[in-house]
């Protein structure tokens, strides 16, 4: 849910721009993609969901044991040993490796940059009513 106080502050920051827009147009504007951010750590669940089951089946027992060790961590820091194990285990050309490398960045919206969170038209209406 959007932070309505921050959303209201954004609306008040440029009334000439925001006032003529409909609630949906404001939401669409705030949800425009502005870039990407590097991720420093992911959860074991993120990694588990990135693994293609048919590629996991083909791993050796030693590789599965290494993955088990990674899954026991509270978080997995990217750029360290765990990432090396993962990208070595799932080599170039595998869908799992592509999925894992995709975890290294997230797409950012204007709303994210402003700390507002996901914005919907109803959130804009609520913020305007504050």
pLDDT of res. 125: 97
With bands split at pLDDT 50, 70 and 90, how would you rate the model's confidence at 115? very high
Q: Which of 112, 125, 118 is nearest to 18 (CA)?
A: 125
Terminal-to-terminal C-alpha distance of the chain: 16
pLDDT at 71 over 90: yes
Alpha-carbon distance of 59 to 54, in angstroms, equals: 10
Alpha-carbon distance of 93 to 10, in angstroms, equals: 44
Do the beta carbons of residue 34 and residue 110 sit within 8 Å?
yes
Give tens-digit pLDDT for 23-42.
999 999 999 999 998 999 99
With bands split at pLDDT 50, 70 and 90, how would you rate the model's confidence at 1? confident
**Average pLDDT of the chain to the nearest whole number:** 95
Q: Are residues 76 and 21 in the same domain?
A: no
Q: Are residues 45 and 32 in the same domain?
A: no
Q: Which domain holds residue 23?
A: 4-37+109-129
Q: Are residues 29 and 48 in the same domain?
A: no
Overall domain count for the chain: 2
């Amino acid at each position: 849910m959007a932070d309505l106080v921050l959303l209201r502050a954004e609306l008040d920051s440029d009334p000439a721009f925001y006032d003529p827009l409909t609630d949906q147009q404001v939401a669409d504007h705030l949800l425009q993609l502005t870039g990407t951010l590097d991720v420093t750590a992911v959860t074991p669940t993120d990694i588990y969901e990135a693994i293609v089951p048919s590629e996991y089946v083909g791993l050796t027992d030693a590789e599965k044991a290494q993955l088990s060790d990674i899954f026991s961590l509270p978080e997995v820091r990217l750029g360290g040993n765990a990432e090396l194990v993962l990208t070595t285990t799932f080599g170039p050309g595998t869908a799992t490796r592509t999925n894992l490398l995709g975890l290294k960045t997230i797409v950012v919206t204007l709303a994210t940059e402003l700390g507002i969170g996901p914005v919907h038209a109803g959130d804009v209406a609520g913020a305007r009513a504050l």
